[in-house]
Structure 1
Amino acid sequence: MEYLVIDVGGTAIKYACMNENAEFLERGEIPTPMDSLDSYLAALGTIIHRYDHNVEGIAMCVPGIIDSVQGVCITGGNLRYVKDLPLATLLEERYGLRVSLENDARCAALAELWRGSLKNCADGVVIVLGSAVGGALVKNGSIHKGSHFSAGEISFIEKDGDISDICNSVGYQNGVLSLYRLVEQQTGIPVAELDGIRIFEMANRGDAGVLEAIDRFAKSLARVIYNIQAIYDPEVFAVGGAISQQNLFIESLIRNVDSIYNRLPFTAPRAKVVPCRFRNASNLVGALYHHLATADPSCCRLETNG
């Protein structure tokens, strides 16, 4: 059987036709509309119409606080026009297919629990670096959602300064756009002319300014990981998003996390950091898992050592 899997991000809507073994049969992406709900639904419709006669259902992962049982977007992250939207029901009625809905970072965590770097892990944390910072908590081998469906919303954490200023949040300071701003400061290249490919091409050529920017970016995220480790004490942190495909960044992050512990005047459990096995595809794989598991919980069980 084949399924349409859709991952809505702050920049692009990624989609894939996948089978029940999480094999990608076809994939692509289109820009995410930022202007209105009508544009958003039209963009989704463009994708769905390509596959609606060939798939068994639609598995979606989206940003924001999500009630996955009712299929409702309570919030939409950076998509300000999404609020209290019963997206799953709306799409089911429009296209006649079963639609599942879950938060994007939780889908990444499900992928890693199912077949990735958190397999057999009882307690863990997934951090997805995109336009903002997605997060998911794994407790006793299951996703911990919290009393308001917002457990793991790392972007909301306040760092330094006035809490009313979004610029002081983890979402602003540790999303990949922050890396672009740091590269601009170091090199003078305007943010508008930067993307991840150019940044890491320059880094791999040994550009000192870009390497310094990546180190500063990793150092800031390392402090977030240290603080979460102190509070939650997971076995492992799995880091995803497109930037997780860059070994240079993962190495810098691990080095900066280790540096914190090496400077401590006391002994504390050390955070273990690994990349998501599925890297930038974790959201899609996890959305498929969620779709399959909510239809038939016996079809794909998660195993833990806890």
Structure 2
Amino acid sequence: MKVLTVDIGGTFIKYAYMNEDMIILDRGSAETPKSGREELVEAIGVLYDKMPEVDGIAISMPGIIDAENGYCVMGGALRYNDDFYFRHSLYQRCPVKIHIENDAKCAAMAEAAKGSLKDVKDGFVIIIGTMIGGGYIKDHKLHRGKHFSAGEVSYINTIRDGDPEYETVWGNRCSTPALCKMYADKKQIPESQVDGVRFFEAVHQGDEDAKKCLELFTKEIAVQIFNLQNVLDPERFAIGGGISAQPVFIEYIRENLKKLYCTCPYRVPQAEVVCCKFQNDANLIGALQCFMTEEVLEEKVS
């Protein structure tokens, strides 16, 4: 079986031509259409046309996704996908089996199947990128929830009374762009001069401003991991996204968690935090894993 796997991001579409053993036969990227859903469908159709043989399409995308019905409840970073039966529209252009799933949930499936969560029963994945995504693995299975939003940590409210400038949504506060903006404001330089690579170069060079920003940023993440651990009690948290490849980033999260547990007046379960195995390919691998899982379920039913 040959599957076109597609990871739709806010800026780029990453794609891979893969077989059922998750071997990548071809790969590439294209810009994500900004104008609307019709252009997005056509962009994937163009990728479909390029492949020699496609038995199915597996899609990872932002937003709250009803995977069973191929419906995008809310489009996340791509709001033109709000209230959109995406699978139905794409099928008119690409008449093969199609499965869609939230991007962070795809990453969680990848880590649960063959990654850093494969040996645990319950685990949680947090992906830090343009916003923050989350996926909850319960009893070795992806837990979607009644309204398909289980694990959607990006929308956690962090409002503080009396501080109108405080970002109320965690996904806006603890995204990679938010970290870069924090550092740019500290240095009083244009945001365009800072990205994740440059920021961590400054950290490794001992820049005190960069280290202070990283401390504040990872403290926010540690607080929510602390909260999630006490609510869901998973065995392990796996952190993904581009900046998670930086060992110092994971170290700072762990150190801030230690401080929280030391100051907590109660004996509570302590979160284990590791880095995701698959990094930038997690969404593609997870999309295929979701596709293959559905294939198996359908074979059992038939």
Unpaired stretches in structure 1, ≥5 consecutive residues: 300-306
What amino acid is the match of 1:235? E
Q: Report the equivalent of 1:40.
A: 40
Alpha-carbon separation, structure 2, partners of 1:258 and 1:99: 44
Q: Which amino acid aligns with 1:66?
A: I
Shift of 1:207: 2.2
Give per-residue Cα distances to partners, 1:46-91, cap 9 Å, x unaligned: 322222x322211101111111111111111021111221211222
Q: Which residue of 2 aligns with 1:155?
A: 154
Mean Cα displacement is larger for which, 289-298 or 248-257? 289-298
Letter in 1 for 2:137: V
Contact 1:222 1:256 in 2 (8 A): yes
Shift of 1:249: 0.9
Change (3 A) 1:61 1:191: same
* Shift in CA distance, 194/43, structure 1 to aligned 2, threshold 3 Å: farther
One-letter identity of the residue aligned with 1:116: G
Give the aligned residue type for 1:123: D
Secondary structure (helix, strand or coil) at the match of 1:81 reads helix
- Residue 111 of structure 1 aligns with an amino acid whose one-letter code is A
Q: Is the 8 A contact 2:8 2:14 kept in 1?
A: yes
TM-score for both structures, normalised by structure 1: 0.91
- Once residues 282 and 242 of structure 2 are traced to their aligned partners in structure 1, the CA distance between those partners, rounded to angstroms, is 10
Q: In the TM superposition, what is the alpha-carbon distance from 1:10 to its structure 2 partner?
A: 1.9
8 A contact 1:9–1:62 mirrored in 2: yes
| Identity over aligned pairs, percent | 39
Question: How far has the Cα of 1:37 moved from its partner?
Answer: 2.0
| Counterpart residue type for residue 87 of structure 2 | A
Displacement of 1:164 after TM fit?
Answer: 11
Deviation of 1:165 (Å):
8.9
C-alpha distance in 2 between matches for 1:239 and 1:290: 20
Is the Cα–Cα contact under 8 Å of residues 7 and 60 in structure 1 kept in the other structure? yes
Query: How far apart are 1:154 and its partner, in Å?
Result: 0.6
Unaligned runs of 5+ in 2: none
SS at match of 1:238: strand
Partner of 1:282: 282
Q: What residue number does 1:171 align with?
A: 171
Partner of 1:56: 55
Number of matched residues?
298
Once the two structures are TM-superposed, the CA of residue 166 in structure 1 deviates from its matched residue by: 9.0
Q: Does 1:247 align with 2:240?
A: no
Provide the alpha-carbon RMSD of the alignment: 2.1
Q: Which amino acid aligns with 2:36?
A: S
1-side partners of 2:62 and 2:137: how far apart? 18
- State which drifts further: 23-32 or 252-261: 23-32
CA distance in 2, matches of 1:47, 1:254: 41
CA distance in 2, matches of 1:142, 1:170: 25
Amino acid at match of 1:71: G
Contact 2:122–2:234, Cα closer than 8 Å, also in 1:
yes
| In 1, Cα distance between equivalents of 2:237 and 2:245 | 15
Given the two structures, how large is their TM-score scaled by the length of structure 2? 0.92
